[in-house]
Amino acid sequence: MGYSHSGNLALIQSYKEGIETSIEVIVPAPWFPEAIKMLKENPNIDVGIHLAITSEWDNVKWRPISDCPSLKNEDGYFHPMVFTNPNYPKESISENEWKIEDVEKEFRAQIELGLKHIPQVSHISGHMGCSNLSEAVHDMTKKLAKEYGLLYDLSKFNVERPKYDATPKTYEGRLKSFLDMLDTLQPNKTYIYVEHPGIDNQELQAISHIGYEDVAKHRQDVTSIFTSKIVKDKILEKGIKLISYKDIIK
CATH code, domain with 26: 3.20.20.370
Average pLDDT for 10-22: 98
- What is the per-residue pLDDT for 220? 98
Q: Predicted confidence band at 156 (pLDDT cuts at 50, 70, 90)?
A: confident
Tally of domains in the chain: 1
Whether residue 248 lies inside any domain: the answer is no
- What is the per-residue pLDDT for 31? 98
Average pLDDT for 55-65: 98
Domain that residue 35 falls in:
5-243
Average pLDDT score over the chain: 97
- What is the per-residue pLDDT for 95? 97
Average pLDDT for 178-197: 97
- What is the per-residue pLDDT for 250? 75
Whether residue 208 lies inside any domain: the answer is yes
pLDDT at 23 over 90: yes
Name, in order, each residue with C-beta under 8 angstroms of 240's C-beta and a sequence gap of 6 or more: 182, 185
Q: Predicted confidence band at 219 (pLDDT cuts at 50, 70, 90)?
A: very high
pLDDT at 104 over 80: yes
Whether residue 142 lies inside any domain: the answer is yes
Average pLDDT for 173-201: 97
Average pLDDT for 200-208: 98
Whether residue 170 lies inside any domain: the answer is yes
Average pLDDT for 206-210: 98
pTM of the model: 0.96
Smallest CA-to-CA distance from 9 within 203, 194, 172 is with 203
Whether residue 101 lies inside any domain: the answer is yes
- What is the per-residue pLDDT for 249? 85
Whether residue 168 lies inside any domain: the answer is yes
The fraction of the chain above a pLDDT of 70, given in percent, is 100
Whether residue 24 lies inside any domain: the answer is yes
Whether residue 30 lies inside any domain: the answer is yes
Average pLDDT for 243-248: 95
Average pLDDT for 102-123: 98
The fraction of the chain above a pLDDT of 90, given in percent, is 98
